[in-house]
Structure 1
Amino acid sequence: MSHYNKGTDRAAFIVHRRGLPNVKAKLAGEAPVTVAFLGGSITEGAGASAADKTSWRALTAHYLRDRFGKSRIRSINAGVGGTDSTLGAHRLREHVLRVENIDLLLVEFSVNDCSNREESIRGMEGIVRQCRRLSPRTDICFIYTGADRNLTCIRPYPIAVHEEVAEYYGIPSVDFAAGIYRMLQNGEAVWASLAPDGYHPNDDGHEIYAGFLRRGLNELLSTEVDSLMLDHCESLPEEPLMTGNYEYADMFSYELADYSGDYHIGKLPQGSKLMNWRYATEHRYSDHPNASFTFTVEGQSGGLLLLCGPDTGIFEYSINGQSFVRVNPFDEWCLNAYRPVSVHFPRHHLRGPISIMARNTGLKDKRSQGTGMRVLKLLAN
């Protein structure tokens, strides 16, 4: 059952597909239910006056508690600003699946997934396949939020790309952007009054988003539960949409690498600003030229999650003893704050052991104040 017309009508924005049979069946009883919100800054609550009270995420959790009982519903905020589904797939185990048994996973990356189609599919498909393999009783729903670029056409990218994944795996979706598009076309709202920066909704915008999702959940949780559908939702197609997707993505402690003596436990400079990260910031740090570390991962690719900021320098890496590749992770966001920046190394065709060496170069971007490297996490797929 679908309320989404792929042709010309964005006024209807809820696609049922296989629905949410597992969480609906659980809500029919008295057992506790855990809902996880995985996404970017809009999921985290950016733009809201109080992220844990007035964001669409918080309002949705409040609605579920009102409807099904305050003590039954646990909510997990796994939103991290400025991140896409690629890092979302790497964060899924640590920030969601290892926290608690998850009954419903709401996934929102439609604004931040703007690099290319293949990478968007790898990220979203990786989240789905990983979740179904490790937690098959978890229902998944995709959420699509609004931005200037996806409120100007019928079926915008990357929402259309995410819908490819949703259609292939039977994932229901609720398209907030389509609801806003309808309101704009009908003269019922002005986007600038709901999201002054064009991306992050204010309290009024978050409330509208929450209303869209309430309607979606009301429909999805009122459909009939079929035992065959329960089994079908837990199945995982053998063939993926995209080879090299992030089904096996993971994020590990920086402690698993072997560091040279020039690296030490780091702390952010006193008085520095941290953005887009609510988790622990302990890391390994060095600004010495040629300071290095090595680690080995099993899979198709490896990578790093760095804490980048005003003193970030240029580093280089080598895979399996090959030539070093130089990376400058400094950008305009580094000028005023530290934040996590993921660096993903090239994918290998086959899975296997990958030995990685990274080292400081002593070089820096002309805007940077230093040559440091802060290792927050190790990444693997």
Structure 2
Amino acid sequence: EIILKPGCDHHPHSLDNAEPVVDFIIRNQPDYQKKQVIHQRGSLTNSYLKFAKEKKGCVAFLGGSITEMRGWRNMIQEDLKQRFPETEFTFIDAGIPSTGSTPHAFRFENDVLQKGMPDLLFVEAAVNDDTNGFDYIRQTRGMEGIIRHARTVSPEMDIVMLHFIYDPFIPLLDKGIQPQVIMNHESVANHYYVSSINLAEEVAQRMRDGEFDWKEFGGTHPAWNGHTYYAAAINRLFDLEWSGDVAKKTVRAHEVPERPIDSYSYDKGVFADIRSAKQLNGWKVVDDWTPTVKGNTRKGFVHVPMLVADRAGASLSFSFEGRAVGIFCAAGPQACVLEYSVDGAPFKKLDTFTDWSRNLYIPWVYMLETELVSGRHTLRLRIAKGERTGCQIRNFVVNL
């Protein structure tokens, strides 16, 4: 029987002096390890050499709320400091609740690369890509966009892809079926030789074996002890990668496949400034936006500049260079139906109201056109007539 140390040993406030997250002896037991689902591809040698020899390291954590919350990320940061006590680490915390691979792909430049060039990047998006209803094409374009972008700007960057668990995955895993989103992300990991850890499969197995139940684990947003299972699997990957003669190896660029899986993947995703919109009719930039209609907000999507409109017929024009265009907005209780046209094509309609918009201004990327010919384009946006006529755009997003 595997018993994790009681939560009091790992109280959040005692983390700085914490012991390893899952007892070292337990975590090195074959019975414990055989339930971990680790796919080693490529290598993590480059980050080891940087941390161990140059005594400097940059590690980025890109994900949704399970990455943003206090948990596995803090444990791994602590573990890295213990493994490399003389190394000066920069940690880039880039978790934003509700966001999946498409938002990650477009914010990667702004939220990660502008804060430092990671030697080691963690990325997760399976839960949000699934719950947000993104299809196979968008899941692939988003995840491939992140990985290809990362490896293009820094071929030496080591990457680990993580797949977390939430309620709808459990009955599938119990039948031996992999959730489709995990398979889609795995196809990207496979194509780019990126190591991945299927924590959903591991946790489902442990629950089937009676080690704990879903409530004890803490659910989608795990309890502190639930996070220890996530951290222990990552530690196991470190142990596998950073043992033996790793110190004798040299830094080598990771191979980037010449052809992407999807030529429209968001591998050159960037933010574009809302102030570059022209012909504003009924739209205005609010420098310190707060909601006028009551609703919860998310950090980074309130008290920031927003391009705002609140009436039907409000219109604007936005010129850009690239293959795809969309908006990163806060879709709240008044989220409108948008009408949009690129390069004078007939207007299309898009309802920006989500399943969560009733009480929350949820951060959401809406892609408008995704398969444009590379080059200069002009987007026209207008708010359709209807009961809901609100729109708050934080960034335009463009795939160059």
**Correspondence list, 1:1-381, <5 A:** 11-45=35-69, 51=70, 55-69=71-85, 72-114=88-130, 115-151=134-170, 152-153=172-173, 154=176, 155-196=178-219, 199-222=220-243, 224-225=245-246, 230-233=251-254, 235-266=255-286, 267-269=289-291, 272-275=295-298, 277=300, 281-348=304-371, 350-365=373-388, 371-381=389-399
CA drift of 1:357 comes to: 0.9
Query: Using the alignment, how far apart are the partners of 2:86 and 2:356 within structure 1?
Result: 39
Q: Which runs of 5+ in 1 are unaligned?
A: 1-8, 46-50, 366-370
Q: Which runs of 5+ in 2 are unaligned?
A: 1-32
Amino acid paired to 2:231: A
CA drift of 1:10 comes to: 7.9
Query: Using the alignment, how far apart are the partners of 1:258 and 1:359 within structure 2?
Result: 13
The answer to whether the 8 Å contact 2:45/2:249 transfers is no
Query: Using the alignment, how far apart are the partners of 1:158 and 1:284 within structure 2?
Result: 33
SS at match of 2:194: coil
Query: Using the alignment, how far apart are the partners of 1:241 and 1:224 within structure 2?
Result: 34
The answer to whether the 8 Å contact 1:312/1:364 transfers is no
Query: Using the alignment, how far apart are the partners of 1:101 and 1:232 within structure 2?
Result: 15
Describe the shift of the 1:251–1:195 C-alpha distance in structure 2 as closer, same or farther (beyond 3 A): same
Please, which moves more after superposition, 215-224 or 170-179? Answer: 215-224
SS at match of 2:35: coil
1:5 maps to which residue?
A: none
Describe the shift of the 1:190–1:300 C-alpha distance in structure 2 as closer, same or farther (beyond 3 A): same
The answer to whether the 8 Å contact 2:58/2:92 transfers is yes
1:48 maps to which residue?
A: none
Query: Using the alignment, how far apart are the partners of 1:173 and 1:331 within structure 2?
Result: 30
RMSD: 2.4
CA drift of 1:215 comes to: 1.7
2:22 maps to which residue?
A: none
Query: Using the alignment, how far apart are the partners of 1:351 and 1:223 within structure 2?
Result: 47
Describe the shift of the 1:174–1:75 C-alpha distance in structure 2 as closer, same or farther (beyond 3 A): same
Give the TM-score taking structure 2 as reference length: 0.82
CA drift of 1:71 comes to: 6.1
Amino acid paired to 1:170: Y
Please, which moves more after superposition, 269-278 or 244-253? Answer: 269-278
Describe the shift of the 1:136–1:87 C-alpha distance in structure 2 as closer, same or farther (beyond 3 A): same
Describe the shift of the 1:320–1:229 C-alpha distance in structure 2 as closer, same or farther (beyond 3 A): farther
Describe the shift of the 1:357–1:64 C-alpha distance in structure 2 as closer, same or farther (beyond 3 A): same
Describe the shift of the 1:229–1:146 C-alpha distance in structure 2 as closer, same or farther (beyond 3 A): farther
